[in-house]
Amino acid sequence: MTVVDLTFVCDRIDEHTRRQPTSWAVKGQERVMDSRSQLVTPVVIASDAMCPDCGNTGVADYADATVYVIPDDDSFALQVEQIREEIEGTP
């Protein structure tokens, strides 16, 4: 499965120290999340999608598909491990 580069944005300027929108780069992995359609879509781990300024989950700038944000907890432990391994193996 392909690793994709995404840009997340957080517009909660009242919660940012610079009072400006914040954007940051995140790597995700394209995976099949809908067993019926079998379409691949980017999946990002929640801790990567959190705004570095305020801790809120940002919005991905990705027009081609829905970006799924999965929690980094026991319920998704296998998926998180697989995504991290794939990202680490990508130059």
On whether the CB atoms of residues 68 and 45 are closer than 8 A, the answer is no
Helices (H), 1-91: 46-49, 77-88
Cα–Cα distance, 54 to 13 (Å, whole number):
9
pLDDT in tens, 12-32: 999 999 999 999 999 999 999
- pTM here? 0.85
Query: Does residue 3 have a pLDDT over 90?
Result: yes
* Sequence spans of domains, the chain: 3-88
DSSP string, 54-67: T--B-EE--SSSPP
